[in-house]
Chain A
Amino acid sequence: MKIEEIQGLIKFVAKSGVNEVELEMDNIKLVIKTGAKEVAPQIIHAAAPMAAAPIVAPAPVATVAAPAPIVENSNYIEIKSPMIGTFYRSATPEKPVFKNVGDDVKPGDVLCIIEAMKLFNEIEAEVSGKIVKVLVDDASPVEYDQPLFLIDPS
C-alpha cells in the first residue's frame, strides 16, 4: 500500500465521522481511529517474513476540526492557482518552505510551486505585503482559480 493511499484513507475516514475503521489486506492490517479532533493512524504489520520496506506511519494529515475561521478582511489579496495541479510549498521536500505565515513578500518572490504534467511552475508574487494565511496543505491537489494564499498588502 502506498503512503498516498494510506493518507487518502485517513482523510476519508476523518471526514466520514466514524470512530474506527479496521482494514486487513495481504500482509497489512490498518487501524484508523479518529479521536475527537485528531487522527491517530496505527499500522500493524502482520507477520511479514522477509525484510519488507518499512512502512512509515504518515504524519497525522487531516485534522477533523474545520480550520479556524479567517478573520474576513476585504483588504486581503487572494493569490489563486493559475492551473490544475499539485501544490508544493518548498522547492524539494527537504528544503524549507518558500513563505510562512507572517513573512513579508515582494513582487518576484516565489510563493509556491504548482506541478502539472511534469512541469514544475514557480508562482511569483505580484504584490507586496505579508502572508496572512496559507490556504492549502503542502502536496495537495489544487483546482484552477483555487485560492492559495491570503496576503495583507498594507
Chain B
Amino acid sequence: MNVIWLDSIDSTNEEMKRRLKHQNSLKNFDAIVANFQTNGKGQREAKWESDYGKNVTFSFYFQPNNLYVVDAFKLNQAVSILISDYLKNLGVKGVQIKWPNDIMVNHKKVCGILIENTLLKNELLHSIIGIGLNVNQSTILSSDNSTSISNEMQEFFYIKVVVEELIDYLYKVQNFIDRPVLLNNRYLDLLLGLNEVRKFSIDGKEIFGVIIGINTDGRLRVLIDRKEQLFEQKKIRFLFE
C-alpha cells in the first residue's frame, strides 16, 4: 500500500491509468495524491475545480474480490459510506449521501467520487476510485451548491493528515462489499431525502416525490402519486430549495 504524492497533475485518475498501462506497477490499495489537478474530472464533461493545496484530491486503486457487474453499485455505496463515516468522525454534522454517490453536508456538496472500473466479461478486474474532498477551500467554487469541511467546522485541517486518515477508512471497502445487508442499511441511513417529500426534476418537469429506497442495481425507488417508479441516474435530478 503505497501513497504516491505528486505536486501537480492533470488528473490523479488519469495518472493512475497511465501507470497501470505502462508500468503495471500498482498494488491493491495504492493511492496517488496531488496538491493540484490541472484537469480534475467530475462526471464526464463536468470539471472539478480546486485551489492549490487546499483540498484533497486523490485516486485509490482497488482490486475487488469476486465483485460482479450486477453488484457494481455496492462500490458506490461502500465508498460513500466510508467517506461519510470519516467526516462524521472528524466532527462534521449533517453528513448525508445524495444518491448515487455525492457526499453532502447540510445539503451542500463537500465531496465528489468518480469511479472508473475495468471489466472483463461480467467481473470487475479493478477500480480507480477518484475522490475530491473540499477541505480548506473558503472561496465559492464554480458549483454554487458546495461547501468545505473548513466552512462547516470553522477549523483548518492538515491535508496530509486528512488524506492518510481517509485512506485508512477506505481499506475497509472490501469488508463492506462483503456485507450487503449492513451496506444497504448504512446507505439508507445516510441517504438524503429518504422518506421525505422532495421536489425533483423529471423529464424537465418539477415533480414531488418520496424516495423509498434503492433497487439492487442502484436505481432510485421514488413514490410519485402513490406509485413506485424506478429511476436511473440521468433520469431524475434533485431540486434544492
Contacts and interface: CB of A to CB of B under 8 A. Distances in A.
Interface in B226-241: 232-234
B229 to A, nearest CB: 16
Contact of A82 (B69, B113, B115): B69
A64 to B, nearest CB: 25
Contacts of B217: 84, 117
A73 interface: no
A93 B101 CA distance: 22
Contacts, number: 70
Contacts of A92: 41, 44-45
A115 B119 CA distance: 12
A93 B41 CA distance: 12
Q: How large is the interface on B (under 10, 10 to 19, 20 to 34, 35 or more residues)?
A: 20 to 34
A42 B116 CA distance: 37
B218 interface: yes
B118 A83 contact: no
A120 B69 contact: no
Most A Cβ at <10 Å: residue of B118, B122, B125: B118
B117 A119 contact: yes
A144 to B, nearest CB: 9
B116 A84 contact: no
Nearest to A1: B204
B2 interface: no
A78 interface: no
A82 B119 contact: yes
A53 B228 CA distance: 36
Contacts of A120: 44, 114-117
A5 interface: yes
A117 B73 contact: yes
Given A82-B69, A83-B69, A92-B44, A118 B121 contact: no
Interface string A107-151: 000100001111111111010000000000000000000000000
Interface of B: 41, 43-45, 69-70, 72-73, 75-76, 100-101, 113-122, 125, 204, 217-219, 232-234
28 contacts: A82-B121, A83-B69, A84-B232, A86-B234, A116-B218, A116-B232, A117-B72, A117-B100, A117-B219, A117-B232, A118-B43, A118-B76, A118-B100, A118-B113, A118-B114, A118-B233, A119-B75, A119-B115, A120-B114, A120-B116, A120-B117, A121-B117, A121-B118, A121-B119, A122-B118, A122-B119, A124-B125, A126-B121
Interface of A: 2, 5, 82-84, 86, 88, 92-93, 110, 115-124, 126
- Closest A-B pairs by Cβ, 4 of them: A117-B218, A120-B116, A121-B117, A82-B69
